[in-house]
Amino acid sequence: MNYLSITLPLGVCVTALGSAIGLGLAVASAMKAVSRQPEAAGKIQIMLVVSCAFIEALTIYAVVVVFILQSKM
Partner 1 sequence: MQPDTAATATDLSIELPRLQHVLSGLIPHDLVSFLDIWGGNILALGALILISILMTRACSRFTEVPGRLQNAAEAVVEALENILKDILGSSMHEFLPFLGTLFLFIFIMNLTGLIPMLHAPTSQFEITLSVAIVVFCYVQMVAIRKLGLIGYIDHLMSSPRDLMGWLMAPLMLFLHLVAELVRPISLALRLFGNITGEDALIAAFTGLGVMVLAATGSPVGLPLGLPFILLAILFSLIQAMVFTILSAVYIAQVLPPEGESHAKNPIKS
**Measured distance CA(3)–CA(72) in Å, rounded:** 10
Q: With CA atoms as reference, report the closest residue to 29 among 6, 55, 66, 8.
A: 55
Binding mask 10-49 for partner 1 (x = CB under 8 A): --------------------------------xx--xx-x
**Residue 37 backbone dihedrals phi, psi, to 5 degrees:** -140, 80
Query: Which of 35, 36, 39, 67 touches partner 1 by CB under 8 A?
Result: 67
Asked whether position 73 contacts partner 1 by CB under 8 A, the answer is yes
Contact residues for partner 1, defined by CB under 8 A: 42-43, 46-47, 49-51, 53-54, 56-57, 60-61, 63-64, 67, 70-71, 73
